[in-house]
Copies of this chain bind each other. A is one copy, B any other.
Amino acid sequence: MVRLKPEETRQRIMDSAQRLFVERGYFNTVIPDIVRDSEISIGSIYHHFANKQDLAKALYQETLQTFLREMHSCTDHLTGVKNKLNAVVQFIYTLCEDNPIQMEYMLFMRHNEIFPEHIPICLSEPFKAVEEWIEDGIASGDVTPGIPLLMAGVFMGGILKVVELKLRGVLKQPLPEVVNQTFVLAWRSIAK
């Protein structure tokens, strides 16, 4: 076993934790599982993180932060609702192919069972951005008039359910093959 830099040790622990949390759930993952998978000792894990929940929290925050930064870098330079929404959908579907673990972690982990106060990721910043773009779209006449929250829900719900179908193995095609068709369907629900 080669000796790692402390930062690499920390990252290894988080990578293993994310995979195991997704595969078996937080409560079904015990510290010795993380020890086996990461090949980092339990003492070292408790050196980097105060306890199991603290590890989960760091993982949650860093994953969400990365996602938001990358999402914004895909959309910020674009103008118009349709372009922005399309870019988000392309980004999500690509991420789901490249890193299904991260996608599943964000979409389906019951973070509120770990941190009692928590809001589901899909209703937080990314979702609010979509809602605001739709509001702008109504104002500019690109989107049919209605309740923006409802429209954002219907739009993103449709997009994300297809991701779920893929992650569950129900949908066989790679997401990039169906991304355009799916976007057209979801866009039709709110387009003027």
A binding-site residues for B, Cβ under 8 Å: 24-28, 108, 110, 113, 119-120, 123, 146-147, 149-151, 153-162, 164-165, 168, 170-171, 178, 181-182, 185-186, 188-190
- A161 touches which of B27, B119, B154, B190 (Cβ 8 Å): B154
Name the CB-closest residue of B to A170: B123
CB–CB B162/A153 < 8 A: yes
Residues of B within 8 Å of A170, CB to CB, are: 123, 149
Q: For the complex, what is the distance from the CA of A120 to the CA of B155, rounded to whole Å?
A: 21
- Can you name the residue of chain B whose Cβ is closest to the Cβ of A113? B25
7 A-B residue pairs with CB within 8 Å: A27-B27, A120-B168, A123-B165, A153-B161, A154-B158, A157-B161, A158-B189
Closest to A119 in B: B168
B contact residues around A164 at 8 Å (CB): 120, 123, 153, 157
